[in-house]
Amino acid sequence: MASVQHDDIPHFDVLIIGAGLSGIGTACHIKNTFPKKSITLLERRETLGGTWDLFKYPGIRSDSDMLTFGYNFRPWNKLHTLADGPAIKQYISDTADEFGVTEKIQFGVKTISANWDNEIRCWTVIALHDKSGEKRKYTCGYYISCTGYYNQDAGYLPVI
Ligand X SMILES: Cc1cc2nc3c(=O)[nH]c(=O)nc-3n(C[C@H](O)[C@H](O)[C@H](O)COP(=O)(O)OP(=O)(O)OC[C@H]3O[C@@H](n4cnc5c(N)ncnc54)[C@H](O)[C@@H]3O)c2cc1C
For ligand X, the binding residues (CB under 6 A) are 17-23, 42-45, 50-51, 55, 60, 62-64, 69, 110-111, 146-148, 150, 152
CB atoms within 10 A of CB 22: 18
Cβ at position 93, least distance to ligand X in Å: 12
Instruction: Output the smallest distance, CB 52 to ligand X, in A.
Output: 6
Task: Give the β-pairing of 122-129 and 109-117.
Answer: antiparallel
Nearer to ligand X, 11 or 44 (CB): 44
Contact 138, 10 (CB under 8 A): yes
Beta bridge partners of 106: 42
Q: Which is nearer to ligand X, 70 or 121 (CB)?
A: 70
3-class state of residue 104 by DSSP: helix
Nearest CB to ligand X, comparing residues 121 and 131 = 131
Shortest Cβ distance from residue 40 to ligand X (Å)? 11
Q: Nearest approach, Cβ of 36 to ligand X (angstroms)? A: 25
Nearest to 124 by CA among 112, 132, 134, 133: 112
Nearer CB in complex with ligand X: 17/140: 17
- Determine the distance from the C-alpha atom of residue 129 to the mean position of all C-alpha atoms in its chain, rounded to a whole number: 16
